[in-house]
Structure 1
Amino acid sequence: MAKQIKVIKCPNCGSIEKSEIKPEHYRCDNCNTEYFLDSDDINVNVRYQNQNNTQVNYLDQSNIRSIIIIVACIVVVIVFSSLISIFFKSKSYSNDSYSNPPVSHTTKSTKSDTALPAETKNVVKEVNYHYCSLTVVENKPFIISIAQRKYSQSSQSKYFFVVHDLLANKIVQESEIADLKTDNFGNVKWDSHDFTQDITYLTAGKRTTFLLDKKKLALTDVTSSLLKNYPQYNTGIASVNITTAQSTKGAYVFHILTDDGQKIYYFPIQDKAYVDNNDFYMALKNLDQANDTSEHTAFSFAQQYDKDFKLIKFTYVSPDGKSYYTFTSANVGDEKTDGSGKFTDEASAYNVDHTFYRDSKYRLVSHQNLTPNRLYFSPEIVYFDDTSLIIKTKASASPDAHYNYQRLDTNTGKVLWTLSDEKTTIKDITHLNDDFIAKQNCGKYAIISSDGTISKEITLTLEK
Structure 2
Amino acid sequence: MAKSIKAIKCPHCGSIKVSTIRPDYYKCDSCGTEFFLDSDDININHNYNYPRNNTDQYKAIRIVLFAVVGFIALMFIIGVLSSIFSKKSEPNYSTYSSSNTAEKKEEAEPLEWNYASNTLFLDKDNSPHVVVVGNVGTSRNRFDEGKDNKVYIGLFDPKTGKKEWVKQLMETPVELSSSDVNLQVFEDQNLYIIIKSKYIYQLDKNSLTYKSVLENYVKDAPALSTGIAKVEFKYEDYGSAYQIMNNEGQNIAYYPLINKSIPDKQLYDERRKKLPNPTTKTEFTFSSKSSSYPEEKIQLIQYTYYYQYGYPKDSPRFSWDKDFGGSGIFTDRDPYKKVLINPWQIKGARLISFKDFTPGRLYFQPVVVAQNDKTLLIAYKPTPAEDDPLQIQLLDISTGAIQKTVATDLKSIYGNGCLLKDGFIVKGSSDYYYFDNSGKQINKFEGYNPKFDTLN
Which residue of the other structure, out of 200, 213, 220, is the alignment partner of 1:222? 213
Distance (Å, rounded) in 2 between the aligned partners of 1:126 and 1:282:
40
Match of 2:162 among 158, 165, 169: 169
Higher relative contact order (CA 8 A, sep 6+): 2
- Distance in structure 2 (CA, Å) of the matches to 1:277 and 1:63: 100
- Label 1:387 to 1:369 Cα distance change in 2 as closer, same or farther (>3 A): closer
Question: What corresponds to 2:405 in structure 1?
Answer: 416
Measure, in 2, the Cα distance between the counterparts of 1:433 and 1:218: 25
Relative distance call for 1:87 and 1:388 in structure 2 (3 A) is farther
Q: TM-score, normalised by structure 2?
A: 0.64
The residue number in structure 2 matching 1:109 is none
User: Is the alpha carbon distance of 1:355 and 1:432 closer, same or farther for their aligned partners in structure 2, counting shifts above 3 Å?
Assistant: farther
Q: In the aligned structure 1, how far is the partner of 2:90 from the partner of 2:380?
A: 60
1:461 alignment partner in structure 2: 451
In 2: Cα distance, 1:44 partner to 1:249 partner: 121
SS of residue in 1 equivalent to 2:120: strand
Aligned: 1:2 with 2:3? no
The answer (yes or no) to whether the contact 2:150–2:174 under 8 Å persists in 1 is no
Distance verdict in 2 for CA 1:313–1:264, change over 3 Å? closer
Aligned counterpart, 1:352: 341
Among 128, 132, 143, the residue aligned to 1:141: 128
Q: Secondary structure at the match of 2:307?
A: coil
Cross-structure match for 1:338: none
In the TM superposition, 1:256-295 aligns within 5 A as 256-259=244-247, 265-273=253-261, 288-289=276-277, 291-293=278-280
Aligned partner letter, 2:239: A
Aligned to 1:209: 200
Given the superposition, is the C-alpha separation of residues 176 and 384 from structure 1 closer, same or farther in structure 2, using an over 3 Å criterion? closer
User: Match for 2:14 among 25, 37, 43?
Assistant: 37
Partner of 1:327: 318
Q: Assess, with a 3 A threshold, how the Cα gap between structure 1 residues 120 and 432 changes in structure 2: closer, same or farther.
A: closer
Give, in whole Å, the separation in 2 of the partners of 1:214 and 1:89. Answer: 57
Quick one: structure 1 residues 302 and 132, their matched pair in 2 at CA, closer, same or farther if it must change by over 3 Å?
Answer: closer
Contact 2:152 2:170 in 1 (8 A): yes
Aligned counterpart, 2:47: none
Alignment of 1:29-68 (within 5 A): 37-38=14-15, 43=30, 63=64, 66-67=67-68
Question: Match of 1:269, SS?
Answer: coil
Decide whether the 8 Å contact of 1:146 with 1:162 is kept in 2: yes
Residues 61 and 180 (structure 1 numbering): CA distance in 2 closer, same or farther, change over 3 Å? Answer: closer
Contact 2:424 2:437 in 1 (8 A): yes
State the SS of the aligned residue for 2:103: coil
Q: 1:416 to 1:287 in 2, by over 3 A?
A: closer
Q: Provide, for residues 21-59 of structure 1, a one-character-per-residue CA deviation record: whole Å limited to 9, x for no partner.
A: xxxxxxxxxxxxxxx53466854599xxxxxxxx98997
For 1:24-423, list aligned pairs within 5 A: 37-38=14-15, 43=30, 63=64, 66-67=67-68, 70-76=71-77, 78-79=79-80, 82-83=83-84, 86=87, 116-118=103-105, 124=111, 127-136=114-123, 138=125, 140-149=127-136, 152-153=140-141, 154-155=144-145, 156=147, 157-166=149-158, 167-179=160-172, 189-196=180-187, 198-229=189-220, 233=223, 235-242=225-232, 250-254=238-242, 256-259=244-247, 265-273=253-261, 288-289=276-277, 291-293=278-280, 296-301=282-287, 303=289, 305-320=293-308, 324-329=315-320, 351-352=340-341, 357-358=346-347, 362-364=351-353, 367-372=355-360, 374-385=361-372, 386-393=374-381, 396-398=383-385, 400-410=386-396, 411-413=400-402, 416-421=405-410
**Offset, 1:68:** 5.6
The offset of 1:196, in angstroms, is: 0.8
My pick for the range that moved more, 348-357 or 70-79, is 348-357
Deviation per residue, 1:221-260 (Å, 9 max, x gap)? 1222115345x55633133535659xx9943434555556
Distance (Å, rounded) in 1 between the aligned partners of 2:267 and 2:64 = 110
| d(CA) in 1 for partners of 2:388, 2:272 | 47
Contact 2:238 2:271 in 1 (8 A): no
Secondary structure of the 1:420 match is coil
3-state DSSP of counterpart to 2:71: helix
Gaps of at least 5 residues in structure 1 are: 9-35, 47-54, 100-112, 332-347
Are the aligned partners of 2:114 and 2:137 in contact in 1 as well (CA < 8 Å)? yes
The one-letter code of the counterpart of 2:170 is I
Larger deviation, residues 221-230 vs 253-262 = 253-262
Q: CA–CA distance in 1 between the matches of 2:260 and 2:183? A: 19
- 1:397 and 1:283 map into 2 onto residues whose CA distance is 36
CA distance in 2, matches of 1:420, 1:120: 36
**How much does 1:311 deviate?**
3.2
Q: Deviations over 1:370-396 (max 9, x none)?
A: 151x44444343444431422122x54
**Aligned mates of 1:455, 1:369 — CA distance in 2:** 30
Which of 425, 431, 438 is equivalent to 2:426?
438
Aligned-pair CA distance for 1:144: 1.6
Q: What is the aligned-residue identity percentage?
A: 14
Residue 208 of structure 1: CA displacement? 3.0
Native 8 Å contact 1:192 1:242 kept in 2: no
Matched AA of 2:406: W
Distance in 2 of aligned mates of 1:446 and 1:318: 34
Structure 1 pair 237–5 and aligned structure 2 pair: CA distance change class (3 A) = closer
| Corresponding residue SS for 2:129 | strand
Deviations 1:276-304 (A, max 9, x none): 78799689958645x434x6352424555
Assess, with a 3 A threshold, how the Cα gap between structure 1 residues 323 and 276 changes in structure 2: closer, same or farther: closer
CA spacing shift, 1:330–1:216, aligned 2, 3 Å: farther
Structure 2 residue runs of 5 or longer lacking an equivalent are: 19-27, 34-55, 323-336
Matched with 1:51 is none
One-letter identity of the residue aligned with 1:158: K
Structure 1 residue 187 displacement after superposition: 7.9
